[in-house]
């Protein structure tokens, strides 16, 4: 499960990076002068791809350490078995709902942060980082939506909001997020 999840996130990120790099490449400059820009952009993107899953650690170690699976993960972690800890986190990820990054409020903040970073800074590492975080979360949501697991998606995304969200509104949110992501990607070209 862990390898499959990691591969799918990296494949989506790599495809997006390849497209952005293809359209961003300037034929009037030598590739040597553009290489550092691309390296920092790609590095920021790969770091950003991994960051949203840190909320699994935050859930286990900080926000819900008393949870049964949190205790299991902590026990394996304390034994020093990092690989087994990561596998256990991945296998039980569907049981954790109140995650810090995988919710609608964080995504609203992330959209504002993306807009700020894309429009106000020249830091290409930061641009890759925030956009890859956005892509990671969007990929997870689209995957859950396509699998028909709308109730779990609703619990995962909208737990901070006290009102009931319909399945249609949930779809509109995800489609709107995808539209914003595509629009922001155009800022990078």
Residues with Cβ < 8 Å from 145, sequence gap 6 or more?
153, 170, 171, 174
pTM, full prediction = 0.91
Contact (CB, 8 A) for 132 and 48 = yes
- Helix, coil or strand: residue 160: coil
d(CA 173, CA 145) in angstroms, rounded, equals 11
Task: Kindly tell me the burial class for residue 66, based on how many C-beta atoms sit within 10 Å of its own C-beta (0-12, 13-18, 19 or more).
Answer: exposed
Contact (CB, 8 A) for 131 and 48 = yes
Contact (CB, 8 A) for 96 and 56 = yes
Contact (CB, 8 A) for 128 and 48 = yes
Residues with Cβ < 8 Å from 166, sequence gap 6 or more?
none
- pLDDT by residue for the chain (189 residues), tens only, comes to 568 888 999 999 999 999 999 888 776 777 778 888 899 999 999 999 999 999 998 999 899 999 998 999 999 999 998 889 988 988 888 888 899 999 999 999 999 999 999 999 899 999 999 999 999 999 999 999 999 988 999 999 999 998 889 999 999 999 999 999 999 999 998
For Cα atoms 74, 79, 80, give the angle at the middle one, nearest 5 degrees: 100
């Amino acid at each position: 499960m862990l390898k499959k999840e990691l591969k799918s996130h990296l494949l989506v990120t790599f495809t997006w990076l390849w497209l952005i790099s293809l359209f961003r490449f300037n034929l009037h400059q030598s590739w040597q002068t553009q290489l550092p820009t691309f390296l920092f952009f790609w590095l920021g993107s790969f770091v950003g791809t991994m960051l949203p899953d840190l909320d699994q650690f935050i859930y286990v170690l900080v926000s819900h350490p008393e949870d049964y699976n949190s205790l299991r993960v902590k026990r394996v972690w304390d034994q020093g078995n990092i690989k087994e800890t990561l596998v256990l986190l991945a296998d039980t990820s569907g049981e954790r709902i109140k995650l810090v990054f995988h919710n609608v409020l964080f995504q609203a903040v992330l959209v504002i942060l993306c807009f700020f970073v894309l429009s106000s800074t020249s830091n290409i590492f930061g641009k890759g980082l925030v956009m890859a975080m956005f892509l990671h979360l969007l990929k997870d949501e689209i995957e859950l939506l396509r699998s028909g697991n709308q109730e779990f998606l609703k619990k995962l995304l909208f737990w901070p909001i006290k009102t009931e969200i319909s399945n249609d509104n949930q779809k509109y949110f995800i489609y709107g997020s995808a539209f914003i992501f595509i629009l922001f990607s155009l800022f990078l070209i």
